[in-house]
Structures are given as structure tokens and as C-alpha cells.
């Protein structure tokens, strides 16, 4: 899909992957509608013509206001990038259910609700793209990240279903599965902490800009799935071919944090 001139709505745009997407898509000529909770950080993202909305997208009123403001300013929405998300490192067997509900409200229900608001505008023109930012944890369940993985598996399945549902309307859907991206993601998790070896894995991380470039490239070539870095496909393939071995290795990484 052509980025230049497109109206691109990005959630979680004040930092990390969202802010990087604003820079990359804006640099390729997109017209930007950006939303995040942190109004101060959001103020410096995007060019002078970007539309900025500060608010919590888990709230229906915020979502409806965001879409209405975007359409009022730009006339349409061509690309929706559901980027906003959070982590939860607490084990599934004792995670507070209130935290789990908050996780799913942001990681799954907010993208679904925004998609439902945006698709009617895309249907009118028989053109559009939904980009859902999942994770490699949405391809292979990570035991220190079980509930986060569940939320991202759900988002990936939603994307695949949307792609089939909306194909007759000329609307496409793309899943993005980043590996370790060098952002402040861990510090904003709802609870728990990752294993030490994972927490120290930043030397293997890609930058948010590299991730955003991969997303933009996927948009331009109408990719079904973008997994970045691409070496992550080897991990996914191994998990499919040798599930017992991969599960044992992942459990070993996780074991120190569940031992007495």
C-alpha cells in the first residue's frame, strides 16, 4: 500500500515503536493522527501538521473522539496502526485478575474496538489497512510472559480473521511480530519481572527505528506478517518442528524465577 499521502492513525505514539512509526511514516509523506496518554511526550512527536490526541484508548469515549477528530481533519483514515500495548510478567497461575483484564483491554479489546470504528470509513472507499502490532510472543508462548503471549496470540488470530473477512471490501490486515526491541517496555509492565537473562538481553535488541522501518516496508509490499528481526522466523520454525525441545529450553530459562 502506498504510504505517501495516506492518513495513518497510530496508537501509543508518544514513545518506543509508536513514536518511531510516526517518524518513519511521516518521513515517507503520510499524514499523521497520533494518540497516547502522555500529552507532554506526544507534543514533540510528528511534524507540524500532525493531529495529536491525548487520552486512554481503553475508553470508548476516547476512541470515538479520536476517530471523529481524525476524519474531521483529514477526511479519511487509510491505515490504522494498533501499536499501544503493555506487558505482564506475573505467572498465569497467580496473576491478579484485575491486571489480566487491564492487559486484555489494552492489548486486544482496544485494537478490536478501534478497528470496528475505522473499517466503515475504509469500506466506503474499498481500500484500507489494519496493522496490529503483536509480538514474537504471539507466535511462540514465552513462559515468563504467558498472559501477554495469550493476548498477542489473540490479536494475531483477530488479524488473520479480519484479513479474510475484509478481503471482499478491498481492506487488508497485517500482523507485526517484533522480537526484543530496545524500548522502555519492561519498565511499564503491569507486574512481575522477566528472567535475568531476558532482562539483560538488550545487546540482541533491535532499535525502535529498525522495527518501524520493517513495518513500513511490510505496508508497502502488502505483507501478511512482518517478523523483525527476520532471524526470529528460525525460532518460530523450531518451535513448530521441535516443540518439546523448545518448551524445555524456555522452561529452563524461566525456572530460576519460580524456584523456592
Q: Which helix (H) or strand (E) holds 7?
A: strand 7-11
Residue with cell 498472559: 147
Say how far apart CA 80 and CA 18 lie, in whole Å.
12
CA 118, 11, 196 angle in degrees (round to 5)? 140
Per-residue pLDDT band at 259 (split at 50, 70, 90): very low
Cβ-based neighbours of 88, under 8 Å, separated by 6 or more? 95, 99, 100, 103, 145, 147, 148, 189, 190, 191, 192
Residue 231: Cβ-neighbour burial (10 angstroms; 0-12, 13-18, 19+): exposed
What residues are labeled active site?
A: 148
d(C-alpha 197, C-alpha 203), whole Å: 11
Please tell me the predicted confidence (pLDDT) of residue 202.
62
The reported pLDDT for the residue numbered 205 is 86
pTM of the predicted model over 0.85 = yes
DSSP 8-class letter at 174: E
C-alpha cell at 170: 478491498
Query: Average model confidence (pLDDT) for the chain?
Result: 94
Give the three-class secondary structure for 11.
strand
pLDDT, tens digit, for every residue of 33-89? 999 999 999 999 999 999 999 999 999 999 999 999 999 999 999 999 999 999 999
* % of the chain at pLDDT higher than 70: 96
Query: 105-160: per-residue pLDDT in tens?
Result: 999 999 999 999 999 999 999 999 999 999 999 999 999 999 999 999 999 999 99
Q: How confident is the model at residue 224 (pLDDT cuts 50, 70, 90)?
A: very high
Establish whether the linkage from the previous residue to 229 is cis, with ω within 30° of 0.
Answer: yes
Q: Give me the domains of the chain, ranges plus CATH numbers.
A: 7-257 (3.40.50.720)
Amino acid at each position: 500500500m502506498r504510504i505517501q499521502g495516506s492518513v495513518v492513525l497510530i496508537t501509543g505514539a508518544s514513545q518506543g515503536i509508536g513514536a518511531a512509526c510516526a517518524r518513519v511514516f511521516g518521513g515517507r509523506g503520510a499524514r499523521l493522527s497520533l494518540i497516547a496518554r502522555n500529552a507532554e511526550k506526544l507534543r514533540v512527536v510528528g511534524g507540524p501538521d500532525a493531529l495529536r490526541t491525548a487520552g486512554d484508548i481503553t475508553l470508548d469515549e476516547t476512541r470515538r473522539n479520536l476517530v471523529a477528530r481524525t476524519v474531521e481533519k483529514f477526511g479519511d483514515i487509510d491505515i490504522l496502526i494498533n501499536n499501544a500495548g503493555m506487558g505482564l510478567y506475573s505467572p498465569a497461575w497467580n496473576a491478579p485478575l484485575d491486571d489480566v483484564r487491564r492487559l486484555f483491554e489494552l492489548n486486544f479489546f482496544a485494537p478490536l474496538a478501534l478497528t470496528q470504528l475505522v473499517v466503515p470509513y475504509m469500506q466506503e472507499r474499498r481500500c484500507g489497512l489494519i496493522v496490529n502490532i503483536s509480538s514474537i510472543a504471539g507466535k511462540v508462548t514465552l513462559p515468563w510472559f504467558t498472559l501477554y503471549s495469550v493476548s498477542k496470540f489473540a490479536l494475531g488470530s483477530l488479524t488473520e480473521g479480519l484479513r479474510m473477512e475484509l478481503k471482499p471490501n478491498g481492506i487488508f490486515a497485517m500482523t507485526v511480530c517484533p522480537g526484543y526491541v530496545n524500548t522502555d517496555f519492561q519498565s511499564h509492565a503491569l507486574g512481575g519481572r522477566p528472567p535475568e537473562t531476558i532482562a539483560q538481553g538488550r545487546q540482541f535488541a533491535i532499535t525502535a527505528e529498525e522495527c518501524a522501518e520493517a513495518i513500513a516496508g511490510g505496508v508497502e509490499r502488502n505483507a501478511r506478517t512482518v517478523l523483525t528481526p527476520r532471524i526470529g522466523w528460525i525460532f518460530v520454525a523450531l518451535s513448530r518442528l521441535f516443540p518439546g525441545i523448545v518448551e524445555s529450553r524456555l522452561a529452563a530459562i524461566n525456572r530460576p524465577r519460580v524456584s523456592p
